[in-house]
Amino acid sequence: MAETWEDQSQHQRTRLNHARLFTGDIWYVDGTNGHDTDNPGNHPGEAFATIAAAITKAVAGDAITVRAGSYDENSLDLNLDGMEMWGEIGAVILNTAGTECLTVSGDNCRVDNMEFEDAGIIGIVVTGNECVIENCTSKDTTVGFDIDGQNNHLIHCHDLDSTTTGFDIAHAGNLLEYCTSIADGGSSRGYYLSHANADKNTIIECHSIGNGTAGFECITGTAANHFHSCSSGKGDGQRVDTDHNNSWHMFSFDNEQHKLLTFNATGGASVNLFKITGVVNIKRITGHVDTVLSADVDEIYLDLWDGTTAFEITDSGGGGTDISSAPEGSFLMKTAAASVVITYQSSGAGFVVENTNWREPTLPFAVGEKAGVDTFIRAVYAGTGTSGAIDFHIEWEPLSDDGFVEEV
Protein backbone atom coordinates (compact mmCIF):
# COMPACT_ATOMS: atom_id res chain seq x y z
CA MET A 1 0.00 0.00 0.00
CA ALA A 2 1.48 3.36 -1.04
CA GLU A 3 2.32 5.92 1.64
CA THR A 4 -0.02 8.89 1.94
CA TRP A 5 1.27 12.45 2.32
CA GLU A 6 0.30 12.31 5.99
CA ASP A 7 2.45 9.19 6.46
CA GLN A 8 5.38 10.82 4.69
CA SER A 9 5.02 13.90 6.86
CA GLN A 10 5.15 11.81 10.01
CA HIS A 11 8.29 10.05 8.82
CA GLN A 12 9.84 13.41 7.99
CA ARG A 13 9.02 14.72 11.46
CA THR A 14 10.90 11.86 13.07
CA ARG A 15 13.96 12.61 10.93
CA LEU A 16 13.87 16.40 11.42
CA ASN A 17 13.66 16.74 15.19
CA HIS A 18 16.58 19.18 15.23
CA ALA A 19 15.72 21.12 12.06
CA ARG A 20 14.55 24.72 12.30
CA LEU A 21 10.84 24.71 11.47
CA PHE A 22 8.07 27.31 11.36
CA THR A 23 5.92 26.96 14.47
CA GLY A 24 2.66 28.16 12.90
CA ASP A 25 0.80 26.54 10.05
CA ILE A 26 1.91 27.33 6.50
CA TRP A 27 -0.71 27.88 3.81
CA TYR A 28 0.17 27.65 0.12
CA VAL A 29 -1.11 29.70 -2.81
CA ASP A 30 -0.67 28.66 -6.45
CA GLY A 31 -2.56 30.79 -8.93
CA THR A 32 -1.89 28.33 -11.76
CA ASN A 33 -2.70 24.94 -10.23
CA GLY A 34 -4.48 25.77 -6.97
CA HIS A 35 -8.17 25.63 -6.06
CA ASP A 36 -9.92 27.49 -3.24
CA THR A 37 -12.71 24.99 -2.53
CA ASP A 38 -11.31 21.60 -3.56
CA ASN A 39 -7.90 21.95 -1.91
CA PRO A 40 -7.09 22.24 1.81
CA GLY A 41 -4.23 24.68 1.11
CA ASN A 42 -1.79 23.07 3.57
CA HIS A 43 0.54 21.49 0.99
CA PRO A 44 2.17 22.85 -2.20
CA GLY A 45 0.44 20.15 -4.22
CA GLU A 46 -2.95 21.09 -2.77
CA ALA A 47 -2.64 24.87 -2.68
CA PHE A 48 -5.31 27.52 -2.74
CA ALA A 49 -5.73 29.54 -5.93
CA THR A 50 -6.00 32.93 -4.21
CA ILE A 51 -4.21 34.79 -1.44
CA ALA A 52 -7.60 35.77 0.00
CA ALA A 53 -8.49 32.12 0.64
CA ALA A 54 -5.22 31.59 2.50
CA ILE A 55 -5.74 34.70 4.64
CA THR A 56 -9.24 33.53 5.54
CA LYS A 57 -7.95 30.12 6.59
CA ALA A 58 -4.94 31.39 8.55
CA VAL A 59 -4.91 32.29 12.23
CA ALA A 60 -2.53 34.52 14.17
CA GLY A 61 1.04 33.32 13.81
CA ASP A 62 0.52 31.47 10.53
CA ALA A 63 2.37 32.02 7.25
CA ILE A 64 1.32 32.14 3.62
CA THR A 65 3.70 31.26 0.81
CA VAL A 66 2.78 32.50 -2.66
CA ARG A 67 3.89 30.90 -5.91
CA ALA A 68 5.31 33.11 -8.67
CA GLY A 69 2.57 34.68 -10.77
CA SER A 70 0.15 37.62 -10.81
CA TYR A 71 -2.72 37.81 -8.31
CA ASP A 72 -5.42 40.40 -9.01
CA GLU A 73 -7.30 40.50 -5.70
CA ASN A 74 -9.12 43.16 -3.67
CA SER A 75 -9.14 43.91 0.08
CA LEU A 76 -6.15 41.74 0.99
CA ASP A 77 -5.26 42.42 4.64
CA LEU A 78 -2.87 40.61 6.96
CA ASN A 79 -5.13 41.50 9.85
CA LEU A 80 -3.97 39.08 12.56
CA ASP A 81 -0.87 39.50 14.68
CA GLY A 82 2.21 37.55 13.72
CA MET A 83 1.03 36.65 10.20
CA GLU A 84 3.67 36.26 7.52
CA MET A 85 3.60 36.25 3.73
CA TRP A 86 6.47 34.89 1.67
CA GLY A 87 6.60 35.29 -2.09
CA GLU A 88 8.53 33.26 -4.59
CA ILE A 89 10.53 35.40 -7.00
CA GLY A 90 7.96 36.79 -9.42
CA ALA A 91 4.96 36.81 -7.05
CA VAL A 92 3.00 39.98 -7.91
CA ILE A 93 -0.13 41.41 -6.29
CA LEU A 94 -2.39 43.59 -8.45
CA ASN A 95 -5.70 45.21 -7.58
CA THR A 96 -7.74 46.52 -10.47
CA ALA A 97 -10.82 46.99 -8.25
CA GLY A 98 -9.53 48.66 -5.07
CA THR A 99 -7.28 51.28 -3.53
CA GLU A 100 -4.20 49.30 -2.47
CA CYS A 101 -2.56 46.01 -3.33
CA LEU A 102 -1.99 44.86 0.25
CA THR A 103 -2.78 46.12 3.76
CA VAL A 104 -0.95 44.96 6.87
CA SER A 105 -3.09 45.87 9.88
CA GLY A 106 -1.85 43.20 12.29
CA ASP A 107 1.12 43.78 14.59
CA ASN A 108 4.41 41.86 14.30
CA CYS A 109 3.62 40.74 10.76
CA ARG A 110 6.14 40.01 8.03
CA VAL A 111 5.99 40.40 4.24
CA ASP A 112 8.95 39.09 2.28
CA ASN A 113 9.75 39.15 -1.44
CA MET A 114 6.41 40.40 -2.79
CA GLU A 115 5.86 42.80 -5.66
CA PHE A 116 2.98 45.29 -5.82
CA GLU A 117 2.00 46.74 -9.17
CA ASP A 118 -1.02 48.67 -10.37
CA ALA A 119 -1.51 52.21 -11.64
CA GLY A 120 -3.59 54.64 -9.60
CA ILE A 121 -3.47 52.81 -6.27
CA ILE A 122 -1.12 52.32 -3.28
CA GLY A 123 1.32 49.43 -3.23
CA ILE A 124 1.32 48.40 0.46
CA VAL A 125 -0.27 50.10 3.49
CA VAL A 126 1.15 49.21 6.90
CA THR A 127 -1.10 50.32 9.77
CA GLY A 128 0.21 47.66 12.16
CA ASN A 129 3.18 48.09 14.47
CA GLU A 130 6.54 46.36 14.65
CA CYS A 131 6.15 44.68 11.27
CA VAL A 132 8.98 43.67 8.92
CA ILE A 133 8.69 44.40 5.19
CA GLU A 134 11.69 42.97 3.35
CA ASN A 135 12.82 42.58 -0.28
CA CYS A 136 9.55 44.03 -1.60
CA THR A 137 9.05 46.13 -4.73
CA SER A 138 6.29 48.54 -5.70
CA LYS A 139 5.93 49.54 -9.36
CA ASP A 140 3.90 52.27 -11.04
CA THR A 141 1.66 52.93 -8.03
CA THR A 142 0.64 56.28 -6.54
CA VAL A 143 2.39 55.60 -3.22
CA GLY A 144 4.75 52.66 -3.06
CA PHE A 145 5.00 52.10 0.70
CA ASP A 146 2.49 53.87 2.98
CA ILE A 147 3.72 53.43 6.57
CA ASP A 148 1.11 54.57 9.11
CA GLY A 149 2.13 52.32 12.04
CA GLN A 150 5.01 52.58 14.51
CA ASN A 151 8.33 50.82 14.89
CA ASN A 152 8.16 49.01 11.55
CA HIS A 153 11.28 47.83 9.76
CA LEU A 154 11.69 48.07 5.97
CA ILE A 155 14.76 46.40 4.46
CA HIS A 156 15.81 46.30 0.80
CA CYS A 157 12.48 47.69 -0.41
CA HIS A 158 12.31 49.32 -3.81
CA ASP A 159 9.90 51.89 -5.23
CA LEU A 160 9.87 52.26 -9.00
CA ASP A 161 7.98 55.13 -10.66
CA SER A 162 5.41 55.96 -8.01
CA THR A 163 3.53 59.01 -9.22
CA THR A 164 3.10 60.64 -5.77
CA THR A 165 5.47 59.21 -3.15
CA GLY A 166 7.85 56.31 -2.86
CA PHE A 167 7.86 55.97 0.95
CA ASP A 168 5.21 57.90 2.90
CA ILE A 169 5.94 57.77 6.65
CA ALA A 170 3.28 59.13 8.98
CA HIS A 171 4.26 57.75 12.39
CA ALA A 172 7.20 57.32 14.73
CA GLY A 173 10.06 54.93 15.33
CA ASN A 174 10.24 53.28 11.91
CA LEU A 175 13.51 52.00 10.47
CA LEU A 176 14.30 51.97 6.74
CA GLU A 177 17.51 50.35 5.51
CA TYR A 178 18.93 50.08 2.00
CA CYS A 179 15.76 51.20 0.21
CA THR A 180 15.49 53.01 -3.14
CA SER A 181 12.95 55.32 -4.75
CA ILE A 182 13.44 55.80 -8.48
CA ALA A 183 11.20 58.02 -10.59
CA ASP A 184 11.31 59.73 -13.98
CA GLY A 185 11.72 63.33 -12.82
CA GLY A 186 8.03 64.13 -12.37
CA SER A 187 6.36 65.71 -9.35
CA SER A 188 6.83 62.78 -6.98
CA ARG A 189 8.63 62.62 -3.63
CA GLY A 190 11.03 59.87 -2.69
CA TYR A 191 10.90 59.77 1.13
CA TYR A 192 8.13 61.89 2.66
CA LEU A 193 7.67 62.31 6.40
CA SER A 194 4.15 63.49 5.92
CA HIS A 195 2.70 63.90 9.42
CA ALA A 196 3.75 65.70 12.59
CA ASN A 197 3.72 62.31 14.35
CA ALA A 198 6.59 61.14 12.15
CA ASP A 199 9.31 61.52 14.77
CA LYS A 200 12.38 59.45 15.68
CA ASN A 201 12.45 57.53 12.42
CA THR A 202 15.80 56.27 11.17
CA ILE A 203 16.56 56.11 7.44
CA ILE A 204 19.89 54.42 6.67
CA GLU A 205 21.55 54.23 3.23
CA CYS A 206 18.36 54.98 1.37
CA HIS A 207 18.55 56.60 -2.06
CA SER A 208 16.35 58.68 -4.33
CA ILE A 209 16.61 59.43 -8.05
CA GLY A 210 14.31 61.49 -10.27
CA ASN A 211 11.73 62.59 -7.67
CA GLY A 212 11.14 66.09 -8.97
CA THR A 213 9.35 67.61 -5.96
CA ALA A 214 11.85 66.32 -3.38
CA GLY A 215 14.06 63.33 -2.89
CA PHE A 216 13.62 63.74 0.90
CA GLU A 217 11.05 65.91 2.67
CA CYS A 218 10.10 66.43 6.34
CA ILE A 219 7.00 68.55 6.94
CA THR A 220 6.42 71.05 9.75
CA GLY A 221 6.28 69.38 13.16
CA THR A 222 8.53 66.41 12.44
CA ALA A 223 11.54 66.08 14.74
CA ALA A 224 14.45 63.87 15.76
CA ASN A 225 14.46 61.88 12.55
CA HIS A 226 17.89 60.64 11.54
CA PHE A 227 19.02 60.27 7.92
CA HIS A 228 22.36 58.44 7.70
CA SER A 229 24.39 57.98 4.49
CA CYS A 230 21.41 58.74 2.24
CA SER A 231 21.70 60.26 -1.22
CA SER A 232 19.61 62.42 -3.51
CA GLY A 233 20.42 61.88 -7.17
CA LYS A 234 19.80 63.13 -10.66
CA GLY A 235 16.40 64.75 -11.20
CA ASP A 236 15.53 65.10 -7.52
CA GLY A 237 13.99 68.28 -6.17
CA GLN A 238 15.65 69.95 -3.22
CA ARG A 239 15.77 68.38 0.22
CA VAL A 240 13.14 69.89 2.54
CA ASP A 241 13.42 70.01 6.33
CA THR A 242 10.91 72.68 7.28
CA ASP A 243 11.73 73.00 11.00
CA HIS A 244 15.39 71.95 10.77
CA ASN A 245 14.80 69.53 13.63
CA ASN A 246 16.16 66.45 11.88
CA SER A 247 19.73 65.24 11.35
CA TRP A 248 21.35 64.48 8.00
CA HIS A 249 24.58 62.62 8.68
CA MET A 250 26.72 62.06 5.58
CA PHE A 251 23.84 63.09 3.30
CA SER A 252 24.97 63.43 -0.31
CA PHE A 253 23.35 65.00 -3.34
CA ASP A 254 24.00 65.54 -7.03
CA ASN A 255 26.27 68.58 -6.72
CA GLU A 256 27.18 68.54 -10.41
CA GLN A 257 24.59 69.47 -13.00
CA HIS A 258 24.85 69.90 -16.73
CA LYS A 259 22.81 71.64 -19.39
CA LEU A 260 23.20 71.26 -23.15
CA LEU A 261 22.83 74.61 -24.94
CA THR A 262 21.89 73.90 -28.56
CA PHE A 263 22.08 76.68 -31.16
CA ASN A 264 19.23 76.52 -33.68
CA ALA A 265 19.20 79.78 -35.65
CA THR A 266 16.90 81.69 -33.31
CA GLY A 267 19.20 84.71 -33.40
CA GLY A 268 21.02 86.46 -30.57
CA ALA A 269 19.48 85.23 -27.37
CA SER A 270 19.75 84.46 -23.68
CA VAL A 271 19.18 80.92 -22.46
CA ASN A 272 18.53 79.91 -18.84
CA LEU A 273 20.94 77.11 -17.90
CA PHE A 274 20.47 76.50 -14.16
CA LYS A 275 17.83 77.55 -11.64
CA ILE A 276 19.10 78.85 -8.29
CA THR A 277 17.17 78.38 -5.03
CA GLY A 278 18.33 79.95 -1.77
CA VAL A 279 22.04 80.72 -1.53
CA VAL A 280 24.64 78.43 -3.08
CA ASN A 281 28.38 78.41 -3.54
CA ILE A 282 29.42 77.86 -7.14
CA LYS A 283 32.71 76.00 -7.21
CA ARG A 284 33.09 75.77 -10.95
CA ILE A 285 31.31 76.52 -14.23
CA THR A 286 32.71 74.96 -17.38
CA GLY A 287 31.51 74.18 -20.87
CA HIS A 288 32.77 72.00 -23.67
CA VAL A 289 31.76 72.28 -27.29
CA ASP A 290 29.75 69.15 -27.94
CA THR A 291 29.09 69.92 -31.63
CA VAL A 292 31.14 72.35 -33.73
CA LEU A 293 29.69 75.87 -33.59
CA SER A 294 28.73 77.78 -36.68
CA ALA A 295 30.63 80.96 -37.54
CA ASP A 296 27.64 83.10 -36.61
CA VAL A 297 27.73 82.08 -32.93
CA ASP A 298 29.25 85.26 -31.55
CA GLU A 299 30.36 86.59 -28.16
CA ILE A 300 29.09 84.78 -25.06
CA TYR A 301 29.00 85.58 -21.34
CA LEU A 302 27.22 84.34 -18.19
CA ASP A 303 25.04 86.27 -15.77
CA LEU A 304 22.55 85.80 -12.92
CA TRP A 305 19.05 86.79 -14.01
CA ASP A 306 16.03 87.34 -11.76
CA GLY A 307 13.66 88.44 -14.50
CA THR A 308 14.40 92.13 -13.94
CA THR A 309 18.07 92.62 -13.19
CA ALA A 310 21.17 90.89 -14.55
CA PHE A 311 24.31 90.44 -12.41
CA GLU A 312 27.49 89.60 -14.29
CA ILE A 313 29.18 86.27 -13.63
CA THR A 314 31.66 86.79 -16.44
CA ASP A 315 32.38 90.13 -18.08
CA SER A 316 29.98 91.19 -20.83
CA GLY A 317 32.06 94.18 -21.90
CA GLY A 318 32.45 94.18 -25.66
CA GLY A 319 29.95 91.31 -25.90
CA GLY A 320 31.85 88.69 -23.96
CA THR A 321 34.09 85.98 -25.48
CA ASP A 322 34.17 85.25 -29.22
CA ILE A 323 33.48 81.54 -29.78
CA SER A 324 32.59 81.63 -33.47
CA SER A 325 33.45 78.39 -35.35
CA ALA A 326 34.65 76.74 -32.14
CA PRO A 327 35.57 73.13 -32.99
CA GLU A 328 34.26 70.14 -31.09
CA GLY A 329 36.13 69.61 -27.83
CA SER A 330 36.86 73.30 -27.28
CA PHE A 331 36.62 74.47 -23.67
CA LEU A 332 35.02 77.37 -21.77
CA MET A 333 35.52 78.12 -18.09
CA LYS A 334 34.95 80.87 -15.54
CA THR A 335 38.42 81.25 -14.02
CA ALA A 336 38.41 84.74 -12.53
CA ALA A 337 36.28 87.55 -11.09
CA ALA A 338 33.11 88.77 -12.78
CA SER A 339 35.09 91.62 -14.36
CA VAL A 340 36.95 89.06 -16.52
CA VAL A 341 35.51 87.40 -19.61
CA ILE A 342 34.91 83.67 -19.73
CA THR A 343 38.06 81.73 -20.66
CA TYR A 344 37.97 80.02 -24.07
CA GLN A 345 40.41 77.48 -25.45
CA SER A 346 40.09 75.98 -28.93
CA SER A 347 40.64 72.26 -29.34
CA GLY A 348 42.60 73.07 -32.50
CA ALA A 349 45.66 72.52 -30.29
CA GLY A 350 46.37 71.17 -26.84
CA PHE A 351 45.85 73.66 -24.04
CA VAL A 352 46.34 74.31 -20.34
CA VAL A 353 43.85 76.46 -18.42
CA GLU A 354 45.46 78.08 -15.42
CA ASN A 355 44.64 80.95 -13.08
CA THR A 356 47.40 83.17 -11.76
CA ASN A 357 45.84 83.03 -8.30
CA TRP A 358 47.37 79.72 -7.18
CA ARG A 359 45.36 79.69 -3.95
CA GLU A 360 42.00 79.61 -5.72
CA PRO A 361 42.53 78.37 -9.29
CA THR A 362 38.82 78.48 -10.16
CA LEU A 363 37.55 81.24 -7.83
CA PRO A 364 34.36 79.90 -6.16
CA PHE A 365 31.60 82.48 -5.70
CA ALA A 366 28.22 82.70 -3.98
CA VAL A 367 24.92 83.48 -5.67
CA GLY A 368 21.46 83.94 -4.18
CA GLU A 369 17.96 83.97 -5.60
CA LYS A 370 15.71 87.00 -5.52
CA ALA A 371 13.11 86.24 -2.83
CA GLY A 372 9.99 84.74 -4.32
CA VAL A 373 11.26 85.06 -7.89
CA ASP A 374 12.67 82.37 -10.18
CA THR A 375 16.37 83.15 -10.55
CA PHE A 376 18.69 81.63 -13.13
CA ILE A 377 22.26 81.41 -14.30
CA ARG A 378 21.98 82.06 -17.99
CA ALA A 379 24.16 82.24 -21.08
CA VAL A 380 23.87 85.33 -23.26
CA TYR A 381 25.24 85.29 -26.79
CA ALA A 382 25.07 87.35 -29.98
CA GLY A 383 24.77 86.31 -33.59
CA THR A 384 22.30 84.05 -35.34
CA GLY A 385 23.57 80.78 -33.88
CA THR A 386 22.76 78.51 -36.80
CA SER A 387 24.17 75.27 -35.38
CA GLY A 388 26.32 73.67 -32.72
CA ALA A 389 26.02 72.85 -29.02
CA ILE A 390 27.84 73.58 -25.75
CA ASP A 391 27.49 71.27 -22.75
CA PHE A 392 27.69 73.42 -19.62
CA HIS A 393 28.60 71.92 -16.22
CA ILE A 394 28.25 73.43 -12.77
CA GLU A 395 29.63 72.20 -9.45
CA TRP A 396 27.98 73.65 -6.34
CA GLU A 397 27.20 73.32 -2.64
CA PRO A 398 24.39 74.83 -0.51
CA LEU A 399 25.12 77.78 1.76
CA SER A 400 21.55 78.20 3.04
CA ASP A 401 19.24 75.42 4.20
CA ASP A 402 17.26 75.68 0.99
CA GLY A 403 20.30 76.14 -1.26
CA PHE A 404 19.80 74.18 -4.48
CA VAL A 405 20.81 74.16 -8.15
CA GLU A 406 18.88 72.36 -10.87
CA GLU A 407 19.16 72.34 -14.63
CA VAL A 408 16.44 74.13 -16.53
Residue 364 pLDDT more than 60?
Answer: yes
Considering its fold, how many domains does the chain have in total?
2
Residues 198 and 302 in one domain: no
What pTM does this model have?
A: 0.85
Does residue 229 fall inside a structural domain? yes
Identify which of 211, 255, 210, 247 has the alpha carbon closest to the alpha carbon of residue 229.
247
Does residue 4 fall inside a structural domain? no
131 φ/ψ angles, rounded to the nearest 5 degrees: -95, 160
Single residue among 236, 253, 270 that ends a domain in this structure:
253
Residue 317 pLDDT more than 90?
Answer: no
pLDDT mean across residues, the chain: 92
Residues 233 and 87 in one domain: yes
Does residue 7 fall inside a structural domain? no
Residues 121 and 186 in one domain: yes
What local confidence, expressed as pLDDT, does residue 12 receive? Answer: 54
Residues 372 and 300 in one domain: yes
**Tens digits of per-residue pLDDT, 84-140?**
999 999 999 999 999 999 999 999 999 999 999 999 999 999 999 999 999 999 999
What local confidence, expressed as pLDDT, does residue 248 receive? Answer: 95
Single residue among 213, 232, 253 that ends a domain in this structure:
253
Residues 163 and 262 in one domain: no
Single residue among 253, 284, 303 that ends a domain in this structure:
253
Residues 204 and 314 in one domain: no
Residues 31 and 177 in one domain: yes
pLDDT band at 8 (very low <50, low <70, confident <90, very high): low
- 373 or 361: which carries more pLDDT confidence? 373
Residues 74 and 217 in one domain: yes
CA distance 276 to 306: 10
Residues 347 and 377 in one domain: yes
Does residue 3 fall inside a structural domain? no
Does residue 221 fall inside a structural domain? yes
**Tens digits of per-residue pLDDT, 91-102?**
999 999 999 999
**Tens digits of per-residue pLDDT, 247-286?**
999 999 888 999 999 998 776 788 999 999 999 999 999 9
What local confidence, expressed as pLDDT, does residue 359 receive? Answer: 55
What local confidence, expressed as pLDDT, does residue 336 receive? Answer: 85
CATH of the domain at 89: 2.160.20.10
Burial 310-340 (b: 16+ CB within 10 A, else e): eebbbbbeebbbbbeebeeebbbbbbbebee
Question: Are 158 and 141 spatial neighbours (Cβ–Cβ below 8 Å)?
Answer: no
Residues 237 and 373 in one domain: no
Residues 283 and 246 in one domain: no
**Tens digits of per-residue pLDDT, 23-63?**
999 999 999 999 999 999 999 999 999 999 999 999 999 99
Instruction: Calculate mean pLDDT across residues 150-160.
Output: 98
Residues 277 and 201 in one domain: no
Does residue 139 fall inside a structural domain? yes
CA distance 278 to 124: 36
CATH of the domain at 286: 2.60.120
Does residue 9 fall inside a structural domain? no
What is the domain range of residue 218? Answer: 21-253
pLDDT band at 5 (very low <50, low <70, confident <90, very high): very low
Question: Are 248 and 222 spatial neighbours (Cβ–Cβ below 8 Å)?
Answer: no
pLDDT band at 3 (very low <50, low <70, confident <90, very high): low
Does residue 2 fall inside a structural domain? no
